[in-house]
Every structure is written in C-alpha cells, then in structure tokens.
Amino acid sequence: MSHKILVYAEVRNGKLKSTTGETLAEARKMMGGKTENIHAVLLGEGCEQHAKTVATFGASKIYVVDAPETNTYQGEPTLQALDQIIKKNGYTVVVGPGSPTGRAFFPHLAIRNKGAMLTDVLSFSLDGETVVAEMAMYLGKCLKQAASNASVTFITLRPNVRPSEVADANAQPHVEKFSCNFDKSKMTAKVVEVRKGNSERPDLTEASIIVSGGRAIGSKDNFKILFECADVVHGSVGASRAAVDSGYAPYDMQVGQTGKTVNPGLYVACGISGSIQHLSGMRTSKCIVAINTDGDAPIFQKADYGIVADLFQAVPILTRELKKMTE
C-alpha cells in the first residue's frame, strides 16, 4: 500500500496558521522527502490566497473549498467538506494541528471513516506500511509509540514540536477547487454572532514565547506587568492553577495537567513554584527561565536559567531590556 497524506491547513480570521508549515514538514519526513503524495486542503471564502504559501511547504496538490459555510466555526459543514475529500481521493493518513479546531474535528472524521485516531502526537513515521506515532505520557516523563494499520489514520500534531521548513520557495501551487455537496438537513447549528477577544496575542498552545504567573503575582491587576513583557516579544501570557484558582487569571490561561499543554521556544515562569501538575504542561519548552524568591523552588530543577528575585523587580527590568533589543 502506498500512503497518501492529506494535511488540513487551518485558516483563522483570514490568516494561515503557523502549524501548517510544521505539519507539512513532519509529513515530508514521513514520506522520505517525497512530496507527490502529500496534499493539503484549505477551507473558507478567499482561502486560495494561501495556496502559494502552502505549496512552498511541500503540498503537491491543494484542495480549495471556497464556501461560506466553512468560514466560521461550524462543525458539520467543515466535517462534510473534509470527509468528502478524504473518501473521494482515498487518503490513508490525514494530519492536522492539535489546535482546538483540530481536536474537535478529527475524532469525528475518524469515526465517519472507521479509522484510527492518534492525538497530541510529537512525531510520526512509517515502519514498513505501519504508521507509528510518538506521544508523551506520565505527565511528559516518558514517551510511548502507537502503531496504526487502519485504512485511514487521523493524526493531530502538537504545535511547536518542530520548526516550519520551506521545501521549495519557488513552488507553484497546483490548486484543485472542490465543490462540496452539503447536506443542509444535518446542519442544525447556526452561528449567530462571533465575538472576538480583545487580545491580538497568539494562542497559548501555539505561542513561541510565553510569560506565566503563579500565585505570587498577588492579584488580577498585577498580571499587567506580565502582559507588558509578553507584548514586547509578541508572546502570550499563561498562569498556574494556583493563580487561576485564586481568581487572578481566567481558566483559558491555565497551563498544566488540568489546563493547556504548551511547547514554546521560551517559557518564563514568574512566581511559580513548579508543581508536577504545572510542569506536565510546559516541561517540553525549549528554554525555561524561572523567577522566584525561593531558591529551593522545584521550578529551578527544570529551568535552564534561574533568577532568585522578586518578580515585581525582575520582570520590569526584563521588559526594559527586551525593549532595547527589539528597538
């Protein structure tokens, strides 16, 4: 059996997500650098503008579903479009980002295609014709491998596990416009309003730089100094469970076992002691900087760099120095 891979290239608010390059890079690795059987799909009105970028990442064919039904987060239209493309073209591996959208759609697609579902994958490869995926377990303390011989294997790749790599900067997109036959009788949900958040910061799970605060931050208002620091480097802001439970930050900022798992290039932990529950959500960060007044805090055992200091003194200094570097 010769594998055919379909990559879901996610577009949000008219912008192509950075996870597309990461996912296609992993797909190329799986196929030994060959791209002829690696295809991608773009959904939503005006999405064809991203076809050139997707092609440079190694997609030899790009399906464009320029349909208003797939513009916003409506599960059924998107599922129907992806399902029809998968079934019509006989894909054996379907890969997408481990984003909220990917995590929501892919299990449904696996059920509809009687396929296997591998989630939060760090990397994937082939062992003969068997799809092998590597995932973290036991709070990230060890890795496991899962194998699939299903007719179709669905994979969500954890964001930021590998860099985006351009395969051919001069690649010209081979675009195939796909007309989806929507079954509107199954579209029982309707989006009546979309309320955008006030922040233009990247999603926490996809941010390359994260500045997080713990209980020591003391109040919701004090998180302001972390936001100021993160904004200098176009990063995002996270929080420990203790900070969330204390009412200093909303749950969607929580990093850890009961929150979000993140994998940034730089993670700055401010006033976070470093419980195993928190470490499980950020231990795979490329570089960890800890700021804490307690030099014996567990976070320093995991940190690449440690600053024993009051965060209210250290963070403003860090922000000031970062501004100098970016000016």
The annotation places the binding site for FAD at 215, 240-241, 254-258, 271-278, 292
Which tokens belong to 325?
A: 């570097």
Residue labelled with tokens 């050139």: 52
CA distance 127 to 80: 31
* 82 three-state secondary structure: helix
Q: Using alpha carbons only, give the angle 146, 105, 258 rounded to the nearest 5 degrees.
A: 70
Please report, in range form, the residues annotated as the binding site: 215, 240-241, 254-258, 271-278, 292
How far is the C-alpha of 281 from the C-alpha of 260, rounded, in Å? Answer: 6
HSE on the CB side for 141, CA within 13 Å? 6
Q: How far is CA 292 from CA 88, 280, 304, 314, 324, in A?
A: 56, 19, 14, 9, 24
User: How crowded is residue 160: how many other Cβ atoms within 10 Å of its Cβ?
Assistant: 21
Please report the beta strands in 138-221, taking only residues with DSSP state E, as ranges in sequence order. 142-148, 153-157, 175-177, 209-213
